[in-house]
Amino acid sequence: MSGTSKNGPAKSLTIHQDAQIMIDKAREEGITTVWDRLADQQPQCGYCALGLSCRNCAMGPCRIDPFGEGPQKGVCGADADVIVARNLGRTIAAGSSSHSDHGRDILEAFGDLARGQATGYRIADEGKLRRIAAEVGVVTEHRTVEEVATDLTNVLQEDYGTRRGSLSFVARAPEVRRARWDALGITPRGIDRENVEMLHRTHMGVDNDYVNTLLHALRTGLADGWGGSMIATELSDVMFGTPTPVMSEVNLGVLKTDQVNIAMHGHNPLLSDAICTAAEDPQLVELARSVGAKGINIVGLCCTGNEMLMRRGVPMAGNHLTQELVLITGALEAMVVDYQCIMPSIVDVAKCYHTKIISTSDKAKFTGATHVPFEPEHGAKIAEEIVRIAVEAYPNRNHGRVRIPGQPVKMMGGFSIEAILGALGGTPKPLVDAIAAGSIRGAVAVVGCNNPKLPQDLEHIELTRRLIENDILVLVTGCAAVANGKAGHMVPDAAAMAGPGLRAVCEALGIPPVLHVGSCVDNSRIMVLMAALADYLGVDIDQLPVAGAAPEWYSEKAVAIGAYVVASGVTTVLGVQPPVFGSPHVVGLLANGLESVVGATFVVEPDPAKAALFIRRHIESKRRGLGLSCFEPETLGIDDNESAHTVPVGAAVGA
Ligand code: BF8
Ligand code: SF4
């Protein structure tokens, strides 16, 4: 079916002009995109949207009638609470597994490197290697880098198994938080173990108590945030460099009309780093010239793009909903993918052009794509082969069909926690002082995806703008970071958009009011920062004037992130309704009950103005708890209907 305008004008689907132009081009050329397929899926299943369908066994599939007239139990006897909790638990396990398996791939490559079996890689940050190794009990003094790296590999590999006790990096959490996790029985033990146990518990006839299931779901999330994701982040820093502030550019304007354009899409920096190096190879650059191109232009998409931007300043083409649109420019020789968030549809769209889709992970093959299996042992050679395929596609480009919309926007990246603390002079003190003085009210992590059910980036941008205007520092990762980059929020000059207190701090430090912390696994960096701030103040994380937000989330990984962020004590606002509203008990636990358990809750609020207001009030209440100056809630009023914040999830229940 060809692309149509059945889902409204392009400007109702995305706030960005580059994307709007490409959606119109897709329609002109009869190419189907994600928005067309969403329209084709209407109406989507109401049972599934409420979390009330189950197909965990062959006595089913079953569904619970949300209106109370039809069946209230599945064939096995599971009620709405059990079914909703099991579904949520499995979603979190899938997300946690995704991040953690990415972490495992990095760890295995790191092990190869330690043993001298990986080509094209090196230890880029020896200081961080030795620091992490010492932290987890590896002897570092008078030992070679290889010896330390080998021992560190062994320790972290154990974290994936069934180690009893707790994961290595859990020790980074404040002692009071760890004590709370221990008391609840949710300290993550083994990364794989928690995920497998979640699958076990949700088999028919195992964990039939929704509270018990959800507690394990939190533990499964914690195994991601303080386990798999944290390993991915830390070892990526060791191998590719710990990010430091760097300028780059973003939007579809980063493509070049006269160069071989290669988009790197997915999540794992193992491949993309090697490709960046290969693209500078003089022989390959010469080959590009010989086919009529002026050079080789590497651009990023999604989290692979974030990894490359953070460490190398590689330009960013766009976020999740841009992945088809970048192909529609007609200017891409190759899209090289590894895994996660890569729509199968890219193969169909690429067929309309000369673009090669090159898959690289044996875990993630795409029928119709060119598969070049990536092995770290031969990283450099394989990267060269991939770049060569792209260069050789250049003569097939139909220049008459190329349209590169607009000019790129400047954005700054590279705010690892080390870089943030470095900018502050090595300790959290200046940030804490600014928060204590009230010039910065607090900090919010705005993270997560795009979702075609919402206009692309609207919620990210609106929420972030309202937060920085009110002197709240915003940290961004994943597609939320790209959204803010495109909106111009991530250059030092954007300090002018912030309230007076935040503006003064940003101008003094030369930083934007919205800091790019990295990819989605790098949400683990935010946990490290929260732990450092809590430790500095001698409090638990849930006492800090902070919050999380995932305004446009779509992915199972985002649910896992939400689980560990909340379990770590940070209240998190979701802009898209999760499939839990079929069980008022589960909703009650997530929206209220968790407060007394982990000191934080989930809130669902699709309206960014109301979400911002909720967050501001939340931050002020945390300030009050710390004895800091605080605004009274009524002084924070805005002219919209403000009811949503008082019954956080209730607003969406009635939707
Ligand atoms: O891990 S923010 S759409 S690209 S899941 Fe995916 Fe969501 Fe983007 Fe990165 Ni994260
Ligand atoms: Fe139905 Fe129970 Fe089987 Fe789920 S586990 S499909 S509710 S019988």
The pLDDT tens digits of the residues spanning 493-509 come to 999 999 999 999 999 99
According to DSSP H, which parts of 279-399 are helical? 282-290, 302-312, 325-328, 345-351, 379-393
User: What is the rounded CA–CA span in Å between residue 66 and residue 179?
Assistant: 39
User: What is the rounded CA–CA span in Å between residue 274 and residue 385?
Assistant: 11
Distances (CA, A) of 306 to 103, 378, 407, 454: 16, 24, 20, 22
| Dist. CA 56 → ligand 2 center (Å) | 6
User: What is the rounded CA–CA span in Å between residue 495 and residue 469?
Assistant: 10
Instruction: Determine if ligand 2 sits within 6 Å of the CB of residue 626.
Output: no
Please check the confidence at residue 151 and state whether its pLDDT lies above 60: yes
Q: What are phi and psi of 548, to 5 degrees?
A: -120, 160
Please check the confidence at residue 181 and state whether its pLDDT lies above 60: yes
Q: What is the mean pLDDT of residues 479-503?
A: 98
Query: Which residues are CB-contacts of 443 (< 8 A; sequence separation ≥ 6)?
Result: 435, 472, 473, 474, 475, 545, 546
Question: Comparing 30 with 642, which gets the higher pLDDT?
Answer: 30
CB contact at 8 A, 655 and 647: no
Query: Which residues are CB-contacts of 113 (< 8 A; sequence separation ≥ 6)?
Result: 121, 122, 123, 149, 239, 376
Closest by CA to 452, choosing from 519, 551, 552, is 552
CB contact at 8 A, 623 and 632: no
Instruction: Determine if ligand 2 sits within 6 Å of the CB of residue 577.
Output: no
Element (H, E) at 191: helix 191-201
Closest by CA to 325, choosing from 1, 12, 5, 24, is 24
Please check the confidence at residue 646 and state whether its pLDDT lies above 80: no
Please check the confidence at residue 4 and state whether its pLDDT lies above 80: no
Q: Give the pair of three-digit tokens for residue 557.
A: 């990984």
Note the pLDDT of residue 642: 45
Q: How many residues does the chain have?
A: 655
User: What is the rounded CA–CA span in Å between residue 401 and residue 398?
Assistant: 6
CB contact at 8 A, 266 and 337: yes
Instruction: Determine if ligand 2 sits within 6 Å of the CB of residue 60.
Output: yes
User: What is the rounded CA–CA span in Å between residue 310 and residue 245?
Assistant: 8
Please check the confidence at residue 73 and state whether its pLDDT lies above 90: yes
Instruction: Determine if ligand 2 sits within 6 Å of the CB of residue 82.
Output: no
| Dist. CA 77 → ligand 2 center (Å) | 8
Angle at 97 between CA 96 and CA 102, to 5 degrees: 105
Ligand nearest the Cα atom of residue 318:
1
Give the mean pLDDT of the chain: 95
Query: Which residues are CB-contacts of 504 (< 8 A; sequence separation ≥ 6)?
Result: 439
Ligand nearest the Cα atom of residue 62:
2
Ligand 1: lining residues by beta carbon, under 6 Å? 267, 302-303, 319-320, 341, 448-449, 478-479, 519-520, 555, 557-558
| Dist. CA 554 → ligand 1 center (Å) | 8
User: What is the rounded CA–CA span in Å between residue 228 and residue 226?
Assistant: 7
User: What is the rounded CA–CA span in Å between residue 133 and residue 147?
Assistant: 11
Q: What is the mean pLDDT of residues 164-170?
A: 92
- Digit-coded pLDDT (tens) for 193-230: 999 999 999 999 999 999 999 999 999 999 999 999 99
Q: What is the mean pLDDT of residues 577-599?
A: 98
Q: Give percent of the chain above pLDDT 70.
A: 96
CB contact at 8 A, 93 and 199: yes
What sign results for the dihedral spanned by CA atoms 652, 576, 645, 53?
A: positive
Nearest C-alpha to atom 1 of ligand 1 is from which residue? Answer: 520
Atom of ligand 2 nearest to the CA of 73: 7
| Dist. CA 205 → ligand 2 center (Å) | 9
* pTM for this entry: 0.95
Note the pLDDT of residue 245: 97
Note the pLDDT of residue 484: 98
| Dist. CA 272 → ligand 2 center (Å) | 43
Grade residue 641 by pLDDT with cuts at 50, 70 and 90: very low
- Residue of 224, 339, 341 best suited for mutating to test ligand 1, as the one with most atoms within 8 Å of CB: 341
CB contact at 8 A, 207 and 213: yes
Nearest C-alpha to atom 7 of ligand 1 is from which residue? Answer: 449
Ligand nearest the Cα atom of residue 56:
2
Note the pLDDT of residue 5: 60
Grade residue 650 by pLDDT with cuts at 50, 70 and 90: very low
Q: Note if the bond before 545 is cis, omega within 30 degrees.
A: no
- Residue of 303, 321, 337, 459 best suited for mutating to test ligand 1, as the one with most atoms within 8 Å of CB: 303
CB contact at 8 A, 290 and 365: no
User: What is the rounded CA–CA span in Å between residue 355 and residue 461?
Assistant: 31
Q: What is the mean pLDDT of residues 44-72?
A: 98
Atom of ligand 2 nearest to the CA of 60: 6
Atom of ligand 1 nearest to the CA of 306: 9
Query: Which residues are CB-contacts of 550 (< 8 A; sequence separation ≥ 6)?
Result: 446, 447, 448, 449, 480, 558, 561, 562, 572, 573, 574, 575, 576
Nearest C-alpha to atom 5 of ligand 1 is from which residue? Answer: 555
Nearest C-alpha to atom 9 of ligand 1 is from which residue? Answer: 303
Grade residue 406 by pLDDT with cuts at 50, 70 and 90: confident
